[in-house]
Structure 1
Amino acid sequence: SLDHYTVIAMDAKDFIVNRSLTKEAWEHRVKDKPNTTFALGAMQEVDPTYTRISIETAERVSNQLSKRTSGNLEFELQGSVPLNVHIRGVSDVDLLAIEADFHTYDARGYMSTSGQYRSPTSRTSVGVLTARRGEMSKALRDAFPAATIDTSGSKAIKLQGGSLARPVDVVPSHWHDTISYQASGQKHDRAVTILVY
C-alpha cells in the first residue's frame, strides 16, 4: 500500500504532467514572444492544488524535524508561498525553523528597559544557530535519504527531489524582539535572526 506522502508526490507529478499538456488561456495571447509569455505566466495566480502540495511538502519537512531533533522548534512559512505570489515550477518553499528556547531583544525596547527579560544567557546567536543547523542537516538526511540536500549556503538547508514534491529551503532561525514588538506584542513586529557567514 502507498503511504500518504507517496500519494502526494504522485499527485503532484500527475498534476504537473497534466497541466503541461494543456495551455493556459494567457498562453494563447503571445505565442511567439517568450519573454512576454513568461511575464504573463508569472503574474497568473497559482492553482490552489499546486499551493496545497507546496504547503503539505513543507509540513512533511517540519514534522520530520520535530520528531528527529531535540529542543523546541516553531515553524513558519515565509516568502512567496504564504503570500500566494509564488511562480509554478520556479519558486521553492521557505520554511523558518525557529529555535523557540532562545531569543534576542533590542535593549532599548520597553520590555527590556522595564526589566521584563530575566533569563540572561551566555549563548550567542551564532552558537545556537550553528549547532541547530548541524542537527537539522543530519535529521533531514536521515528523514529524506533520496532527496538532494545542499548545506553549502549559510542561510538555508536546501532540499529537493526524492519523495519531496517541491524544493524546500529550511532556514534555522530564532526570534528577535524589536522595539516595536516590545511595545505592541504583535507577531508582525517580531523579527527573526538567521545565520549568515
Structure 2
Amino acid sequence: MKRMPLLLLLLLGLLAFAPKPKLTTVKLASTLSVGVPKEFAPLPDDGIAVKYPSPRKPLAVYSNPSGRVDYSVAVRPTTFESFDYGVLLKIYKSSIQRLYTKVDFIKEDIRTVNGRDFIYFEFISTVSDTRRNSQLTPIKRYQVVQYAIEGSQLYVFTFVAPADEQAQWQPTAQAVMSAIVMKK
C-alpha cells in the first residue's frame, strides 16, 4: 500500500517525458488556425461527402492514413452568444446523449485555449442496432468535441477514433484541441 504513491509518482514522471504529438499548423480562415497531426491528410470533397453526408459540409476534415481517425472543423450559424456557455454545456451534452445509444463521458468542461473559451467534451460513444434479431456488433468511438462561438457562428472541432485505440489517440486529440487559435 505504501508503494502506491511511489508508483503513481513514477508513472506521472514517465508521462511527462512522453513524446508530444507532432502537429502542423493549418490556417483555415483569416481568423482560424488549427494544429493537425503531421501524418493526417485533408479529405477531398468527395471523401467528405461520403463520410459526412450533410447539407452543410464541414469546413475541413483531416484523416489518418488508414482513414479510421478523423479531425474535422465545422461552422454553423447560431443565435447563442459566448456568455451562454454554461447553459450550452448542458444543451450540447443532452444533444450528444441523444445521438448515440450510450455515452460514457470522460470529461465535460468549459476551458480556455489560447485566450478563447471553449465547451469541451471527451467521451466514448456507442451505437447499437436495437432491432430484434440483430447480430451487428455495436460501434464504439472515442471522441473529443470542442465548441466555440464567434459572432453569429458556432465552430465545432471534432476528433474521432476507434474506442479500442483511445490510449493511442488521446494525447493527440488533446494536443489538437489545445492548438486551436481563433482571433477576433
| Structure showing the higher helix proportion among its residues | 1
TM-score, normalising length: structure 1: 0.33
TM-score, normalising length: structure 2: 0.35
| Structure showing the higher strand proportion among its residues | 2
